[in-house]
Structure 1
């Protein structure tokens, strides 16, 4: 299954944010989107998900236009930058409602083994990010949108999250953006840079230097 995003235009207060954006993602691949703060990466993911309406957009699934919000298809899950879970819901209930196995989670992240009856408001921001990223990735959706999944995550968890993303791409299409661009570059099958409202597909690290996104190699 192939998802194509085409001809997206978005204005805020008469300022053009996105203009003619195009890129694609498909099952079995990770598509990374890089860009400076304020360039429209989060807005782009919200448009794809369907909870932000731009001036123009065209989404296609296997070449067929998607005429209703993507989230209504049941094919997509979205991890925004803000917290997802109700602050007073026990974590075990959140896993139950999202049909995700709590015991498999604590097998991968044993430091959380005593958090079953804990509420989101009682854990740190980084811990909550791990939990919510896991829930989204392990959902039955075919496409996953991740907006800065590595934000505030401790190094002890980072490699496990990266491994999980690589594992889940075997059954899903994943679109990911993050300020930790080294990780995005390393895990992405296809890479785009969002700059001046447009997307450009990136084929090499040299292009990121030439386009002024980074000043040297890492």
Structure 2
């Protein structure tokens, strides 16, 4: 299954953010999205999911136009930058709502088992993020959009989450962006760079230097 989006144009007042963007997300692949702060990465993910309404967009699934938002009929799950779990929701209840196995989770993150009956307001920012990322990744859906999944998470748990992402790509198309670009570069099967509101396919990592995204890899 392949999701393609093109001709995406988005403006806020007089500021053009996205200018005819094209991107492809393929089941069995991880698509990395890079760009400087403020380049429009988060806006693009929100447009794809259906949270933001752009001036123009064309979304296709397997080359057929898809006119309804991707959150309808559970086509996609979206991890925003901010925490999205209600403070008064209990952790074990969130796993039930997402239909995700708690026992498998705690085998990977045993230090979080003590929080099973806690509400989210009792968790640290990093603990919340681990759970939110895991629930989105493990949800039953065709496509997953991850915005800054590694923020506030310790390196050892980042590696665990990357392993899980690689396992889940067998059943999903995954789009991921993060300011820690090395994780995106090392994790992705192919990469798009957003620069000046346009998307650029990156076929060789040296292109990231050519476009002044990094100094030297």
SS class of match (1:153): coil
SS class of match (1:11): strand
CA distance, structure 1, for counterparts of residue 161 and residue 72 of structure 2 = 27
- 1:133: Cα distance to partner? 0.3
Tell me which residue corresponds to 2:148: 148
Tell me which residue corresponds to 1:178: 178
Q: Which structure 2 segments of 5+ residues have no match?
A: none
- 1:73: Cα distance to partner? 2.5
TM-score, normalised to structure 2, is: 0.99
Q: Which structure 1 segments of 5+ residues have no match?
A: none
CA distance, structure 1, for counterparts of residue 210 and residue 19 of structure 2 = 21
Q: CA RMSD in A?
A: 0.7
SS class of match (2:9): strand
CA distance, structure 1, for counterparts of residue 88 and residue 70 of structure 2 = 28
CA distance, structure 1, for counterparts of residue 187 and residue 157 of structure 2 = 16
Tell me which residue corresponds to 2:119: 119
The yes-or-no answer on 1:70 pairing with 2:70 is yes
Displacement over 4 Å in runs of 4+: none
What aligned pairs does 1:127-138 form with structure 2 within 5 A after superposition? 127-138=127-138
SS class of match (1:112): helix
- 1:156: Cα distance to partner? 2.3
TM-score, normalised to structure 1, is: 0.98
CA distance, structure 1, for counterparts of residue 175 and residue 156 of structure 2 = 23
CA distance, structure 2, for counterparts of residue 96 and residue 159 of structure 1 = 25
CA distance, structure 2, for counterparts of residue 174 and residue 56 of structure 1 = 23
Deviations 1:109-141 (A, max 9, x none): 111111101111111111110000000001001
Work out the number of aligned pairs and report it: 217
CA distance, structure 1, for counterparts of residue 135 and residue 44 of structure 2 = 22
Deviations 1:17-58 (A, max 9, x none): 000100101110000000000010000000000010000000
Deviations 1:129-159 (A, max 9, x none): 0000000001001100000000111112111
SS class of match (2:87): coil
